[in-house]
C-alpha cells in the first residue's frame, strides 16, 4: 500500500529541483520500466498492480489502479511506476560522432532525439545547460528506454566546443548536407526550436550544414528539430 510520503515524493519528482535534490527520476509503463531494469540504472522503488515484477520483492510495493493513478503522470496508468537513481555521466568519446544540443526546450523533442541517437548508434549526446532536463518524465517517456543506451551529458557547450576541432552546425543557410562528404567523427550541433544555434556557439562552427527545401514554393520556415535530427543522422550514417 502506498504511503503519503511515497505519494508526495513521486509527485515531487515531476519537478527538476526535486529530482536533483533526491537524485531520483520516475519511469512509467511496462516496456519502459523493463528497459531500465535490464540496464545499469539502479532501481529505487517499484509500484505495480500485478506480480510481473515479483523478482524485485525488496523494492516492490503492490498497489491497485486507484493508488497507481495517484502517482502516475498518465490519464490511464499502465500497471507500473518506478523510481531510479540518476547516474553520474560517463566520459565522452570525442573520437566518435557526437550530437550536441544547444538550448532544446521541448521534452518531446529531446526524448525523440535520444531515441534517434540510440537508433543510429550515436553513443554520446551532449546538451547545453539550458536544454530541458533529460529526466523530465515527458522526456523519459518519449525516449522509450533509449536513455539506457545513450550517454547524456550536460556541459558548458561554449567552453567544451572551443577545444573541438570539427564542429558542424545546422543552419537554414548552410551548404546542403546532400552535397557534402561527411566525416565519421566530429560534433553535430542542433539549435533551439525557435532561434536555432546561439551566436556564441555559431562562432565555433567549422562547417555549416543545411537540409534543403524541395517544395515548389520553398516557404516552409523550418523543420521540427527532432525531424531534422532524423534526417541528419541518417545522412551521416548513409
Pairing of strands 186-191, 97-102: parallel
Specify if 225 maps to a domain: yes
- Pure H helices in the chain: 4-12, 16-22, 30-37, 65-71, 107-120, 137-143, 157-161, 199-202, 225-237
The total domain count for the chain is 2
Beta-carbon count within 10 A of 207 CB? 19
Q: Which of 118-127, 148-157, 209-218, 224-233 has the lowest mean pLDDT?
A: 209-218
Specify if 92 maps to a domain: no
Shared domain check, 49 and 157: no
Q: Provide DSSP, 129-186.
A: TTSPPTTSHHHHHHHTTGGGGSEEEEE-HHHHHTT-S-EEEEEEEEEEGGGS---SSE
Q: Is the pLDDT of residue 153 over 90?
A: yes
Q: What is the pLDDT of residues 207-236, one digit of tens each?
A: 999 999 998 777 777 899 999 999 999 999
Average pLDDT estimate for 6-21: 98
Decide which of 36, 57, 85 is a domain's last residue: 85
Q: What is the pLDDT of residues 73-98, one digit of tens each?
A: 988 888 999 999 999 989 999 999 99
- What pLDDT is attached to residue 43? 98
- What pLDDT is attached to residue 218? 74
Distance CA 65, CA 45 (A): 17
pLDDT-based confidence at residue 127 (cuts at 50, 70, 90):
very high
Q: Is 217 helix (H, G, I), strand (E, B) or coil?
A: coil
Shared domain check, 232 and 138: yes
169: exposed, middle or buried (Cβ count in 10 Å: 0-12, 13-18, 19+): buried
Shared domain check, 182 and 133: yes
Distance CA 30, CA 45 (A): 14
pLDDT-based confidence at residue 182 (cuts at 50, 70, 90):
very high
Give the residues across from 191 on adjacent strands.
102
Average pLDDT estimate for 32-43: 97
Average pLDDT for the chain: 96
- What pLDDT is attached to residue 219? 73
- Return the C-alpha cell found at 57: 520483492
Shared domain check, 226 and 115: yes
CB neighbour list of residue 143: distance below 8 Å, 6 or more residues apart: 110, 111, 112, 114, 115, 118
Shared domain check, 202 and 146: yes
Look up the domain containing 157 and give its range: 97-237
- Return the C-alpha cell found at 95: 573520437
pTM above 0.85, yes or no: yes
- 160 sits in the region (left: phi over 0; alpha: psi -120 to 50; else beta) called alpha
Q: Quickly tell me which residue has 553513443 as its cell.
A: 123
pLDDT-based confidence at residue 186 (cuts at 50, 70, 90):
very high
Decide which of 51, 85, 119 is a domain's last residue: 85
Q: Is the pLDDT of residue 26 over 90?
A: yes
Q: Is the pLDDT of residue 206 over 80?
A: yes
Decide which of 56, 85, 114 is a domain's last residue: 85
Task: List the CATH number of the domain containing 28.
Answer: 3.30.1330.30
- What pLDDT is attached to residue 215? 82
Q: Is 81 helix (H, G, I), strand (E, B) or coil?
A: strand
CB of 122 within 8 A of CB of 97?
yes
Distance CA 134, CA 111 (A): 7
Amino acid at each position: 500500500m502506498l504511503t503519503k510520503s511515497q505519494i508526495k515524493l513521486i509527485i515531487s519528482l515531476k519537478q527538476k529541483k526535486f529530482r536533483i535534490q533526491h537524485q531520483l527520476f520516475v519511469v512509467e509503463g511496462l516496456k519502459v520500466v523493463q528497459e531500465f531494469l535490464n540496464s545499469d540504472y539502479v532501481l529505487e522503488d517499484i509500484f505495480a498492480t500485478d506480480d510481473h515484477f515479483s523478482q524485485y520483492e525488496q523494492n516492490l510495493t503492490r498497489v491497485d489502479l486507484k493508488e497507481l493513478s495517484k502517482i502516475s503522470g498518465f490519464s490511464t496508468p499502465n500497471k507500473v511506476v518506478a523510481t531510479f537513481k540518476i547516474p553520474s555521466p560517463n566520459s565522452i568519446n570525442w573520437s566518435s560522432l557526437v550530437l550536441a544540443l544547444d538550448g532544446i526546450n521541448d521534452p518531446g523533442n529531446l526524448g525523440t532525439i535520444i531515441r534517434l541517437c540510440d537508433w543510429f548508434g550515436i553513443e554520446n549526446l551532449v546538451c547545453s545547460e539550458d536544454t530541458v532536463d533529460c529526466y523530465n518524465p515527458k522526456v523519459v517517456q518519449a525516449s522509450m528506454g533509449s536513455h539506457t543506451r545513450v550517454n547524456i551529458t550536460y556541459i558548458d557547450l561554449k567552453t567544451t566546443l572551443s577545444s573541438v576541432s570539427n564542429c558542424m552546425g545546422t543552419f537554414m543557410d548552410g551548404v546542403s548536407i546532400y552535397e557534402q562528404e561527411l566525416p565519421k567523427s566530429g560534433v553535430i550541433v542542433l539549435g533551439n526550436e525557435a532561434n536555432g544555434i546561439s551566436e556564441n556557439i555559431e562562432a565555433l562552427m567549422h562547417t555549416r550544414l543545411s537540409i534543403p527545401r524541395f517544395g515548389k514554393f520553398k516557404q516552409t520556415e523550418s523543420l521540427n528539430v527532432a525531424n531534422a535530427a532524423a534526417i541528419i543522422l541518417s545522412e551521416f550514417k548513409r
